[in-house]
Chain A
Amino acid sequence: MSIWLGLAGFGIVFFSAVLMVGLSYLRRKTPSVFRDIPAFTRLRQAVGLVVEDGSRLHVSLGRGALTTPQSASALAGLALLRRLADLTSAGDRPPIATSGDATLAILSQDTLQTSAKSSEQAVFDPAAGRLTGLTPFSYAAGAIPAIRDENVSANVLMGNFGVEVALLTDAVERESTFVLAGSDDLTAQAVIYASAPEPLIGEEIYAAGAYVESSPLHSASLTVQDILRWLIIAAILVGALLTLAGVL
C-alpha cells in the first residue's frame, strides 16, 4: 500500500517537474497573467521609497530550519531577498536580513554577498545578514532592534514564523513603517492577518518569486500550482462521490 503511495507521490513530483520545465519554455513566448496581489504592488512602491530616501530595507526570514519541511518558506524568502537586494543595490545602504536559524543566516549572507558582487558594490557587510536568536522568541526579540534602530522604512517578513511574528508586526506598527508579512504557519498567518496591513495569505508567499522576479520558471511554478490545485479538487470531489456510493 505504502509502496503505491510512494509511487503516486513520485508521480506527482515528476509530473509537476516536467510541467514546470515545459511551461517555463512556453512562458517565454506567451507569458501568463496572474491575479493581482496588492501586497506586492505596495512592496514595490515601498522598495522604491527605500532607495530614494536612503533608508533601509529589512527582510526577516523566519526560523524554519533547512532540515524541516518549513524550509521552503524560508527559501522563498531568500529568493525574494535576492531580488530586493538587487533592487536596492544602488541605495545608500544594503538591506538587512534577520533570521532565527543559523543555516538561514548563512544563506542570507550568501545571498546578500552575491547581490553585492553582481551589483559591483565593493563593500559587503556580513553584519547585514544576521542571526538574531536561536529560539523563536529570542529571534523575534532580537529582530525588534533591527526594525527600530536602523532607519528601516520597509520590512518584509517572509518565512516560517510562529505567533512570535506578532512581536515583529507590532514593532513595525509602532514605527509606522511598511511591512509585508507572510508565513507558511497557519497560526502565524492568522496573527499576520490581524496585525499586518499587507498580509500574504497561504501560498501567496511562494508566489513572491513570480510576482517580483517573473522569470519563466517562477511563473511556470504558479501555473503548475494551479494545475495541481484543480487536480486535487477533482480528487476530492471524485473521492467524495465514491465514499457516498460506498465504494471507498
Chain B
Amino acid sequence: MADVLCPKCGESNPAELENCQFCGARLTPLSDSKPVDFQPIKVGVNPVKEGINDFEKVIPARGDPIYPGEAPTRKNTSELEPTLPTWLHSLRKGQDSTEGTSAADTSTDQDLPLSPVPAASPDSSGDLPDWLSGLEKAASSEEEEVPGWLASLRGEKTVTSVPASEPASEPISNAADNLSAIPGDADWVAPLGSEPESAMPEITLQGDQQGEGESPDWLESLKSETAAPATQEKPASPGEGVPDWISALPSSSEENQPASGQAENLPDWLDQLEEKAVDSKPAQTSDEGKTIGPDFPDWLTNFESAPRTPDVTAGESLPDWLSGLEAKTSPESAASAPTFNSELPPSSPAHGEAPDWLSQFQAEVNAAQEQEAKKEQFEVAPPPSAQDITKEKETGMLPDWLAGIEPGTVPTEGTPALIASDESTTPEEKDAAAFLMEMPDWLSKLKPEQGIEDDLEADAETSNLGNIEISELPSWVQAMRPVESVVAGARAAPPDSRVTEQMGPLAGLHGVLPVGPGLGPLRKPPAYTNILQVTDGQQRYVSTFERLISRETQPQAASRTRLASNRLWRWLIAGLLILAITLPLVTGISITQASKLQPPEMINAFTLIGSLPSNAPVLVVFDYEPALSGELEAAAAPLMDHLLLQGPRLTLISTSPTGPVLAERFLHDTDSSPLVASHDYQAGQQYVDLGYLAGGPSGVQYFAISPSEAAPFTLDGQPAWQLPPLQGLQKLSDFDAIIVLTDNADSGRVWIEQTGSTIGNTPMLMVISAQAEPMILPYYNSGQIKGLVTGLAGGEAYGQTFVSPGAQTGLAQRYWNAFSTGTLVAEILIVVGALWNVVNGWRTRRRKSGEGI
C-alpha cells in the first residue's frame, strides 16, 4: 500500500503522511481500522456496541466521508473509511482512559512494536494479572498480530467479569455515571486499558503517536458518547452501545435489588450481578443483529466468525481456552451442543484462513477489482437484515435471529465463552438455545453466498460459516456506504442527536432495540420498521426470506407429529384383561393351585405373630393410599386375622391423611376385609386410632421419641393415652410389635430409619405393596425388619400358612385365580405387542430410509 487516498478529497497521498496533503483530512486511521475494528466488537459486549455507536457518532466528527453518488470504484479505499471510527474510537477510548489512569501506557506504546507481549504485560500485570498469563501463553502460540487479539480477548474477559458486578449492583443512574466518568472509575479502566494494549501492535505499525495527538477530542467524544446514555436511559436508544449497556443494567440491578441488600446470599447476588452485566453482551449483540439496518447481520456474522481465528488457534495451545469453548456445549445449552460440535471442524480451517485473510484484507483495501468483487457481496449483504426486519415485523420469530447469531458468537468465542455460562441466565440466551433447532436451516440461507439453497445438515451450515469469515468482511465494509450518506446528511447534528437517525438503512435503529429487563428477543418488536426504505432488492429478499420461514416451520410440524396414540391397542388390552380377570371371579373355578412359595420373610412374620402374647400392645401403621387399598387389604388380611386372633391391644396411626379412614374400614368393612371384620374390634376398648400423624419423617421421629406428645388425641379428638388399650405405654419400645402396612418404600424407610434408635427390641413387621419390595427387602436382610409380607402373593402365601379357624378364605385366595389369569394375559400381550411394535417400527424405518434413498 504505497499511497493512501484521502477520504475527503480522494487525492492519493504518501502512506507515511497522516494528514492529506491536499485537504488536510486525516488519512492514517484508515489502515489501523480493520484489525482493531472488529476485535473489540467480536470479543465482548461493550466493544460491539461501542464500536457501533462510535462508528455512528465519530463519522460526523471525522473528516468528510465519500460523497453520495460518487462511483464506488473510484472511491474504493475511501469507502472503507467509514469503518475507521469504530476501531479508532475504541482505540482512543482505550488510550485516553489508560492515560487517565496510568502514564505507563504511552511508554508501552513505544515498546509495543518491538515486542507486543511484554508491552502489554507491564501495565496489564498492573491491574489485570489474570489475563496477562493468558496473553503470554497466547503470544507464544500466535503470530504477529494475534497477541494483540488475545490481549483484547483477555481484556474483554476482565471487562465482563470485573466491572460488571460493580455498576450492576447500583441504581442505573450510578451505573451510567460509572460509564461517563471513565478515567475515574477503576473498573472501567481495567477493561478499557486492556483494549489499547490489544490494539497496540497494529497501531504502532502505522502511526501511533498521531493517535495520541488527537486524544483531547476523543476524550470529549468519548465523554459525549457515555454521557448521552447516562442522561437519557430509555428504551428509545437501542442502536447505542452504551444505552444497551445500561439497558442491560436495569435488568440486573432491578432483579437484584432485593438480593443485593442482603449479606446472606452474597455469593448469589454477586454472581447474579455478574451474570446480568455479562448478559448485556449477547443481549445486545443479538438485538443489534435483529434491529440495526441491513449491514448488521453481516457485521455480526463477521465479528462472530472473525474471533474464531485466534480463539481456535489458541484453543490448541491453551487448555483453559479450549475448556472455555467446551463450556458452551454442555452447561449452557444442551441444544447448542450439536451445532457447536458440528461447527468445530469448519472453525479450524477458518483459523487457518483468518490470519492471511487479515493481511489479504489489508492488501485488498486499495485493490479496485477486489472492491468490485466485494461490491457484488455488498449488494447481497443488506437484504438478509432487510428480511430480518420484515420478519420481526410479521412473525415474532426474532429468536431465530438470535439463534442465528448465537452459534456464531457462543461456541466459537474463546473468552466470552467463559462468561457464557453466566450469560445463559438471560432469556435471550435461552431462547437462542431453545431455537437452535431452527437456526442452522435459515441462518445458512441468510448467508448471501448460500442464497436460497436449503440443506438442514449442520455440517453444511457450518461450512457456510466457514465461508462467511472470508467473504463477508468486505460486505460490511461496503455496508458502511448508505450509513455514510445518512451521517453526511446529519453531520452538523450535536453528539447526542446523532443517536436519532432520520433515514438510511440504519434509521429506526433506535426505536428497535428492546431495552429493559426480560425483554427477550422473543418480543415482537414495535412497528418502527415502516420507516425503513425497503428497496425492491430488499423486497426480493423479503419474499425469499418468507419462503425460508415457511420452509423452516416444516420441521416443526414434523417434530410435532410424534407416535400417535393407538386406541385399538388400548381397547384390546382393556378388553382382554377385564375378560381374563372377570371369568375366574364370576365362575369361581379354581384353575390355579395355591402358591407353594413360602418366602422366608413371610414365615418369619407368621412365627412372630404367632408368638405374641394375648393382650399384647401392638402398633399398626396404616400408611397406604386408598388407591392401593385393594392390594394391601388383600395382602394384610390373613396376617391381621392371625394377629387379632391373639387378642392384642391395637394402636392405629397413619402418616397419610387418608390412613385413619382406611384403618377403620379395614377393621370393620365386611365386604373389603371379611376376615378382619369378623373379629369386630371395638374402638376405645380393644384399639385406639391415633389418627393422622402430620409432618412426614419428622412427625414419625417425633412420635418415635415421645408418642404421647406427637399424637395426643384419638381420631375423634379425645385424649388417647388414658384409654385402656394404651395403658402403661410411654415409649415406642413398650409395644410388643410394630406392624407397618405401606404401599410406599419411602414411608416404609421412614418408619425403619426414624424409629431405629428408639424401637429397642420391639420387632417391626411390614406388609407392603409389591412395588415397594426391592427397596424394603434389604432392610429385612439387614435385620431391621423381622418379617415381611409382600403384595397379593405374600398374602396368599400367608393365607396358605395360616388357615383361619372359621376356614374363611381371605381376599387373596379369592383373587388368586383372577390374578394368575390376568397376569398371564398381560404377559402374553406385552410379548406379542412388543414384538409387533418392533417389527412395525423396523418396517416404517426401512420405508423411511427407502424414501430417503
Contact = CB atoms under 8 A, between A and B. Distances in A.
A–B contact (CB under 8 angstroms): yes
Interface of A: 2, 21, 24-25, 27-38, 40-41, 44-45, 47-49, 51-53, 65, 67-70, 83, 86-87, 89-91, 118-120, 134-137, 153, 162-164, 173-178, 185-187, 197, 210-219
Contacts of A136: 625, 627
B744 interface: yes
Contacts of A31: 323-324, 326-327, 331-332, 417-418, 420-421
Contacts of B562: 176-178, 197
Given A51-B431, A216-B422, 17 more contacts: A29-B161, A31-B324, A31-B418, A33-B329, A35-B330, A41-B338, A53-B556, A67-B696, A83-B430, A87-B431, A89-B427, A90-B396, A119-B519, A135-B657, A162-B744, A187-B744, A211-B334
A164 B438 contact: no
B333 interface: yes
A164 B331 contact: no
A223 to B, nearest CB: 10
Interface string B270-294: 0110110000000000000000000
B775 interface: yes
Nearest to B658: A135
Contacts of A65: 696
Interface string B409-427: 0000000011111101101
B698 interface: yes
A217 B421 contact: no
Nearest to A120: B518
Interface residues of B, number: 79
Contacts of A210: 331
Contacts of A41: 334-335, 337-338
13 contacts: A31-B326, A33-B327, A48-B399, A48-B438, A52-B397, A67-B695, A118-B255, A118-B517, A162-B744, A176-B564, A176-B565, A215-B424, A217-B268
A30 B324 contact: yes
Contacts of B272: 215
B771 interface: yes
A69 B421 contact: no
B545 interface: no
A86 B625 contact: no
B257 to A, nearest CB: 12
Contact of A70 (B323, B437, B746): B746
**Which 5 residue pairs are nearest across A and B when measured between Cβ atoms?**
A90-B522, A31-B327, A119-B518, A68-B696, A48-B434
Interface in B522-560: 522-524, 553, 556, 559-560
B771 A219 contact: no
Contacts of B774: 186
B334 A89 contact: no
A49 B560 contact: yes
Contacts of B424: 213-215
B766 to A, nearest CB: 16
A41 B561 CA distance: 18
Contact of A187 (B275, B337, B522, B745): B745
Contact of B520 (A38, A70, A90, A217): A90
B772 interface: yes
Contacts of A87: 427, 430-431, 434, 520
Contacts, number: 196
A106 to B, nearest CB: 18
A163 B746 CA distance: 13
Contacts of B333: 44, 214
Given A30-B418, A89-B522, A187-B772, A217 B431 contact: no
B522 A91 contact: yes
Quick one: which of A30, A118, A173 has the most chain B CB within 10 A? A30
B263 interface: no
A36 B330 contact: yes
Nearest to B326: A33
Nearest to B266: A21
A47 B553 CA distance: 15
Interface string B710-735: 00000000000000000000000000
Contact of B330 (A33, A120, A164): A33
Contacts of A214: 331-333, 421, 424
A36 B418 CA distance: 19
B118 interface: no
Which of A31, A70, A118, A211 has most B Cβ within 10 Å?
A: A31
B267 interface: yes
Interface in B385-407: 396-397, 399
B757 interface: yes
B72 interface: no
B330 A45 contact: no
Contact of A186 (B330, B420, B757, B775): B775
Contacts of B853: none
B522 A213 contact: no
Nearest to A83: B430
A212 B268 CA distance: 17
Contacts of B744: 162, 187
A36 B421 contact: no
Contacts of A53: 556
A28 B518 CA distance: 22
A147 to B, nearest CB: 13
A182 B434 CA distance: 20
A206 B161 CA distance: 27
Contact of B334 (A44, A164, A218): A44
Given A90-B396, A186-B745, A187-B772, A215 B422 contact: yes
Contacts of B161: 28-29
Given A24-B271, A89-B522, A137-B625, A36 B560 contact: no
A135 B267 contact: no
Interface in B132-173: 161
A210 to B, nearest CB: 6
Contact of A173 (B435, B553, B565): B565
A32 B418 contact: no
B563 interface: yes
Interface in B760-785: 771-772, 774-775
B320 interface: yes
Given A135-B657, A215-B275, A216-B421, A44 B565 contact: no
A111 B697 CA distance: 27
Contacts of B695: 67
Nearest to B403: A48
A76 B565 CA distance: 30
B430 A212 contact: yes
B697 A68 contact: yes
B427 to A, nearest CB: 5
Nearest to B439: A48
Contacts of A35: 330
Contacts of B746: 70, 185
B523 A213 contact: no
A28 B330 contact: no
B487 interface: no
Contacts of B331: 31-34, 210-211, 214, 218-219
Nearest to A92: B396
B468 interface: no
B437 A33 contact: no
Contacts of A186: 745, 774-775
Nearest to B698: A67
Nearest to B157: A29
Contact of A86 (B338, B430, B658): B430
B433 interface: yes
B436 interface: yes
Contacts of A86: 427, 430, 518, 520
A45 B559 contact: yes
Contact of A219 (B396, B421, B658, B775): B421
A48 to B, nearest CB: 4
Nearest to B561: A176
A183 B600 CA distance: 32
A166 B746 CA distance: 18
A21 B182 CA distance: 32
